[in-house]
Structure 1
Amino acid sequence: MAPRYAASAIADTAGYERTLARVSTLLAPEHAALEIGCGTGASALRLASRCGRLLATDSSPAMIAMARQRWRAQPSAQLSFAVADAQAALQENAGGYHRVLAFNVLHLVDDLDAVLSAAARALAPGGLLISKTPCVREMNLLVARIAVPIARMLGAAPPVQVFDEAQLLAGMRATGLKPIIVERHGTRRKDFRAFVVARRA
């Protein structure tokens, strides 16, 4: 799926730019940051200059290969890429990150509670989890209850966690993360992607 993903256009470019601008205000040169589920590295390449160090990870070797190819075209000393699933990446340097970035990935992990717990442990005290997540339960019922399960059964889509914003926030609070920013950045129709920033207590 990596080549198809890399070639796909951003559905809401204005909303994406709004998110990147918002994230940029939460990063600083003294920050060590980790991104999980970075895909082909598009967001990491845009945000790396705002950090002291950014390690961008994805479980797909094909995605990381494409990310590194992009990096060679516009190298950044602050940015590096690695193949790792979300939990492995988060457990590698417990307490060592000021920021953990998770864009369009929390609905795809096998165990959301475990990943949120690992994110809390990966953050230094006061560190931020910065996320943007499709809340699948808020989508059209046909999509959430019929289309997604059928696509999973046919192998045409990865496993998808079905939750809404309230459930996502509750999951964060249960793992010691305090949501401090909850926004929607979409500019087209109903926006079901929740932008949530949560602080480690």
Structure 2
Amino acid sequence: MTEAAFWDKIAEKYASDPIENLEGYHKTRDMIVDRLKPEHRVLELGCGTGSTALEIAKHVQDYLATDLSPKMIEIANAKRDAETPEHLRFAVADGAGLPDFSPDVVLALNLIHLVPNADAMIQKIFDRLPQGGLFIAKTACLRDGPWYLAVMIPLMRLIGKAPHVSIFSQVELTDRLQKAGFVIDETLLQKGTAPRLFTIARKP
């Protein structure tokens, strides 16, 4: 099963499931908005069903939200209403490849650990951003969680119950960002079975 097919298969359930840590979601959403400017062009990779894009697109000039799952994008477009900014667009695209778009800010929320070659994606994002551009991510750092996750997830993938998941720690993630050339401006660790590190990185 391809990655796109996996996410298409679970899209309806994904859309109906409540946000696991609503307080944490609101906290990081507000941190993102605080860093946005009205003239910014934002590229969101792995937007899922568009919940974050629909909330924050009004704060910027242009917003392109992409996901590799056509079904996720179909659901995102169905959420549009009269208050949705016209400049918010949803599109099917592989986040690892990056669409033809020149952003000031790139968002990858709950995505880096799902990309087979995270280092290549991070480097492409760095190269695409202008000087002073921001890369804002929230990433599961499974090596910092219970030991059994590293065993269970590959087994679930074998039977089609999980997508590709990379196993790394907070320290390893930060090293990857810095190796690509980013400067880390802010971090916030959200604890849980799968700890998630929220990072705001800048291209110097």
Q: Which residue matches 1:51?
A: 60
1:159 to 145, 161, 164: 164
Q: Shift of residue 73 of structure 1?
A: 6.1
Give the secondary-structure state (helix, strand or coil) at the position aligned to 1:184: strand
> Given the two structures, how large is their TM-score scaled by the length of structure 1?
0.92
Alpha carbons of 1:73 and 1:161: their partners in 2 closer, same or farther (altered >3 Å)?
A: farther
2 CA distance for matches of 1:179 and 1:72? 36
1:42 to 46, 51, 59: 51
Pair 1:88-2:88 in alignment: no
Identity %: 35
Q: Which residue matches 2:118?
A: 112
Q: Which residue matches 1:30?
A: 39
Aligned-pair Cα RMSD in Å: 1.5
Q: Give aligned pairs, total.
A: 195
Contact 1:18 1:185 in 2 (8 A): no
Q: Shift of residue 190 of structure 1?
A: 6.7
2:146 to 116, 131, 140: 140
Q: Shift of residue 146 of structure 1?
A: 1.7
Alpha carbons of 1:197 and 1:54: their partners in 2 closer, same or farther (altered >3 Å)?
A: same
Contact 1:179 1:197 in 2 (8 A): yes
Q: Which amino acid aligns with 1:13?
A: L
2 CA distance for matches of 1:64 and 1:182? 29
Q: Which residue matches 2:195?
A: 192
Contact 1:117 1:175 in 2 (8 A): yes
**Structure 1 runs, 4 residues or longer, greater than 6 Å off:** none
> Given the two structures, how large is their TM-score scaled by the length of structure 2?
0.91
Structure 1's unaligned 5+ residue stretches are none
